[in-house]
């Protein structure tokens, strides 16, 4: 049983399109995240949701809109895709505030904008 | 802002050799995490450290939380081809569980 699963794994789309990436976790965690990994493999947080509420927004463009229908799901919708949005996007979850705050990651979605 | 400086950036070693990589910061952290990312996959947690001075092993991997709380190292002994991947150090900054990552160490192991 996959702990954090995201779909699709690969996404190729044209500039200007709107696309969504879905994420689900079955770990019972209260907090979910979206991270972006650039071409140099650097990982940076984009958003964090705790129990469906946005708690971190790292100055991400408004074209990116996360949505959390319940605490087990955090989807990422991207409007008007640009070439620079090409990257690997990772969903993650954790249970901060406990003794163990490590995050568990999904397998990633490689987004290519052409 | 707070950042983690990880080195080396890449390593090319022979199978059987030991490997050491480290992470430093000018800031104090309460947690140090080491992740491994295989090609095409997400980061997977290897070792978590929660106490200054803590030394923890996971099979051939050993990691330590520096006594100053500003650094950590990861050692891999007797490397094997499946150790290939990118290793990241990470820590939390008490902001809703947000993780910040080092730049990664890309490990290549020659059989």
- Segment B20-70, tens digit of pLDDT: 999 999 999 888 999 999 999 999 999 999 999 999 999 999 999 999 999
Q: Which residues of A touch B43 (CB under 8 A)?
A: 43, 90, 105
Interface of B with A in 31-70 (CB under 8 A): 31, 33, 35, 37, 40-45, 48, 50
Query: What is the per-residue pLDDT for A100?
Result: 59
CA neighbours within 13 Å on the CB side: how many for A51? 2
Q: How far is B16 from chain A (nearest CA, A)?
A: 26
Q: What is the largest CA-CA distance in chain A?
A: 44
Put simply, whether B80 touches A (Cβ < 8 Å) is no
pLDDT value of residue A50: 87
Residues of chain B found within 8 Å of residue A33, distances taken between Cβ atoms: 97-99
Please count the residues of chain B.
111
DSSP code, position A84? G
Q: Given pLDDT bands bounded at 50, 70 and 90, which one contains residue B95? A: low
B99 has a pLDDT exceeding 90: no
Local structure of B97: helix, strand or coil: coil
Which pLDDT tens digit goes with each residue over B5-16? 999 999 999 999
Residues of chain A with pLDDT under 70: 1, 97-101
* CB contacts, 8 Å: B106 with chain A: 41
**Closest by CA position to B88, among listed A105, A49, A26:** A105
For residue B64, which of B17, B23, B16 has the smallest C-alpha distance?
B23
Indicate the average pLDDT of chain A: 92
Residue B94: pLDDT band (50, 70, 90) is low
Residues of A in contact with B101 (CB under 8 A): 42-44
Cα torsion B82, B88, B94, B98: sign: negative
Contact B88, B34 (CB under 8 A): yes
Chain A segment 62-101 residues within 8 A of B by beta carbon are: 90, 92, 94-97, 99-101
Asked whether the beta carbons of B111 and B15 are under 8 A apart, the reply is yes
Q: Per-residue pLDDT averaged across B68-81, rounded?
A: 96
The predicted structure's pLDDT at residue B12: 96
Backbone phi and psi for residue A30, each to the nearest 5 degrees, phi listed first: -90, -20
């Amino acid at each position: 049983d996959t702990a954090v699963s995201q779909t699709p794994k690969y996404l190729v789309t044209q500039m200007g399109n709107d696309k969504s990436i879905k994420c689900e976790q079955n770990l019972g965690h209260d907090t979910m995240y979206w991270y972006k990994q650039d071409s140099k493999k650097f990982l940076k947080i984009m958003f964090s949701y705790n129990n469906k509420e946005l708690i971190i927004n790292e100055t991400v463009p408004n074209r990116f809109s996360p949505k959390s229908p319940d605490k087990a799901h955090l989807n990422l919708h991207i409007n008007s895709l640009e070439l620079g949005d090409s990257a690997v996007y990772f969903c993650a979850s954790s249970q901060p505030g406990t003794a163990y705050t490590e995050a568990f990651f999904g397998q990633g979605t490689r987004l290519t904008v052409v | 802002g707070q950042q983690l400086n990880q080195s080396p950036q890449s390593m090319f070693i022979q199978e059987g050799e030991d490997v050491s990589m480290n992470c430093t910061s000018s800031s104090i952290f309460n947690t140090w995490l080491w992740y491994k990312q295989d090609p095409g996959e997400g980061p997977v947690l290897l070792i978590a450290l929660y106490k200054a001075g803590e030394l923890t092993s996971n099979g051939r991997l050993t990691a330590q939380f520096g006594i100053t709380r500003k650094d950590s190292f990861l050692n891999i002994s007797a490397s094997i081809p499946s150790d290939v991947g990118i290793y990241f150090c990470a820590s939390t900054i008490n902001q809703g569980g947000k993780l910040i990552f080092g730049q990664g160490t890309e490990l290549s192991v020659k059989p």
